[in-house]
């Protein structure tokens, strides 16, 4: 699968990319919401891995922007963020309206679990 990884931290990005590549996926990594839209334009991803805490435009803005493009409506999105899921009071909205298929809390998610979530996303429609 082709993964669009939206991750501003360089070390995090490297470890996630390495793990995903080892699992056989190709990865495009960007640091910002605007760059993510551009990257998706260049090569349509099969799944998006999104950190909510981004410079400039945040992950929620990216979600709404991304879903406003007709051809990207069904691409599954996995949130992989430092924001704990229990603090995401609109988790249901994120899942129902914005096609977020998994909410992963970074400190509690191993790379193996991340890769498993990415693999599982191929069978889940957004």
Partner 1 sequence: MGLAEQLSRPFLQVAQLAELAGGATDQQTVAAHWQTVRAISESSLQLVESYALSLRVNGKVTPLQLEPVTVSSLLYDTAHSLQPLARQYAVELQLEPGPRAQPIIADRSVLQAALTSLGQVFVAAQAETEAPSLVRLSAHRSRHGIVAGLYSHAPQLGADSLRRAQALHGRARQPLQRLVSGPAAGVFVADALLRTLAARLHVARYRSLNGLAATLQPSQQLQLI
Partner 2 sequence: MSQQQVTTGIVLTRVDYGEADRIITLLTPNHGKLRLMAKGVRRVKSKLAGGIELFSVTDVTFIQGRGDIGRLVSTRLVTHYGRIVQNLERTMLGYELLKQLNRATEDEPEMDYFHLLESAFLALDDAAINLELIRLWFTAQLLRLSGHLPNLQTTADGSKLAVDQRYEFSFDDTVFTARPGAPYDADAIKFLRLVFSGNPPAVLNHVAGVERLVATTGQLVSVLAQQYSH
Q: Does 106 bind partner 1 (CB under 8 A)?
A: yes
Give yes or no for residue 24 binding partner 1 (CB under 8 A).
Answer: no
Residue 67 DSSP symbol:
H
The residue assigned the tokens 């999104």 is 50
- Cα separation, 48 vs 61, in Å, equals 14
Tell me the per-residue interface mask from 57 to 96 with partner 1, x by CB under 8 A, - otherwise. Answer: -xxx---------------------xx---x---------
Q: Which of 55, 52, 58 is nearest to 77 (CA)?
A: 52
How far, in Å, CA of 86 to CA of 89, rounded?
A: 7
| Cα dihedral 81, 87, 75, 39 sign | negative
By C-beta, is 21 or 125 nearer to partner 1?
A: 21
Judged by CB under 8 A, the chain residues 39 through 78 that form the site for partner 2 are 41, 52, 57-58, 60-61, 64-65, 68-71
Q: Which residues bind partner 1 (CB under 8 A)?
A: 8-13, 15-16, 18-19, 22, 31-32, 35, 51-55, 58-60, 82-83, 87, 106-107, 110-112
């Amino acid at each position: 699968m082709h993964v669009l990884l939206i991750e501003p931290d360089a070390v995090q990005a490297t470890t996630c990319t390495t793990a995903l590549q080892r699992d056989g996926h190709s990865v495009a990594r960007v640091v910002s919401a605007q760059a993510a839209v551009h990257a998706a334009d260049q090569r349509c991803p099969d799944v998006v891995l999104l950190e909510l805490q981004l410079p400039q435009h945040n992950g929620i803005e990216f979600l709404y922007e991304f879903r406003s493009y007709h051809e990207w409506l069904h691409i599954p999105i996995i949130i992989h963020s430092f924001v704990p899921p229990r603090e995401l009071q609109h988790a249901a909205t994120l899942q129902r309206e914005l096609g977020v298929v998994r909410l992963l809390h970074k400190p509690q998610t191993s790379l193996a679990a991340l890769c498993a979530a990415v693999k599982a996303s191929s069978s889940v429609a957004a």
